[in-house]
Amino acid sequence: MKFGVVVFPGSNCDRDMQDALSKDLGQEVTMLWHKDKGLPGFSTDDCIVLPGGFSYGDYLRCGAIARFSNIMQDVIAFANEGGKVFGVCNGFQILCESHLLPGALLRNQNQQFICKNTFIKPDGFYKEAIENKEVIYKIPIAHGEGRYFADEATLAGLEANGQVIFRYCDENGEVNDLGNPNGSTNNIAGISNSNRNVFGMMPHPERACSSILGNTDGREIIETLLMAKQLVG
């Protein structure tokens, strides 16, 4: 399996992701420039990653300009053909702007940028994929617009189909307002598309992969979502 990490003007987590995938998880990684056309050397058995940062400075709306980058047209086609696509933070915002994932990421409820460790717990098909283990992950966040929002019909569909894969919680695993750092609807921290090949989350698992940093909770997330040959269902 090969990983391609897209670099946009303003990306600031692309090398973090490259380092986590290559050094901590031992995977082959190719950096992809946003002006590139095509995804040569990649098949639908591989994965394209949209990293965090501030693509195009977030001058219009987070992810709104990156959605029209040359490479995104190929990423959209790649996803529609069944290839895995993973967006973290700004990458999640780009996936929503590209309509590869439903909903939107709004300004944090407190109207402030938040950078801290948070707790998330698995849900939906991700929880099934880890055999319903009761796990609480400690994963960093760093965003100003991470409040997930969708209309009631979309939310109902996500919940019914098991597409909500992570929820913010407190350190005891309770899904409540105290554990919700940005006011996300239903404490949603990450979702997938209905085909379970496109994933987006606001927390940064790539920042929790190295034992040197004292936290490797992100490894299981990446291994389960991106490196499993087939997810449940």
- Answer yes or no: is 232 within a domain: no
Burial of 160 (0-12, 13-18, 19+ CB in 10 A): exposed
User: Which of 47, 62, 97, 206 is an active site residue?
Assistant: 206
- Pick the catalytic residue: 62, 89, 96, 209? 89
**DSSP summary character for residue 24:** I
Assess if residue 72 is contained within a domain.
yes
Q: How many domains does the chain have?
A: 1
For residue 143, indicate whether it is catalytic.
no
User: What predicted TM-score, i.e. pTM, was given to this entire model?
Assistant: 0.96
Among 97, 143, 145, 204, which one carries the catalytic annotation?
Answer: 204
Domain limits for position 52 = 2-227
Q: Which residues pair with 190 in a beta bridge?
A: 166, 201
List the CATH number of the domain containing 104. 3.40.50.880
Q: What is the DSSP letter of 76?
A: H
| Contacts with 232 (C-beta within 8 Å, 6 or more apart), sequence order | 125, 128, 129
Q: Look at residue 162 and tell me if it is in a domain.
A: yes
89 counts as catalytic: yes
159 is catalytic: no
Query: Per-residue pLDDT for the chain (233 aa), expressed as one digit of tens each?
Result: 899 999 999 999 999 999 999 999 999 999 999 999 999 999 999 999 999 999 999 888 899 999 999 999 999 999 999 999 999 999 999 999 999 999 999 999 999 999 999 999 999 999 999 999 999 999 999 999 999 999 999 999 999 999 999 999 999 999 999 999 999 999 999 999 999 999 999 999 999 999 998 999 999 999 999 987 667 66
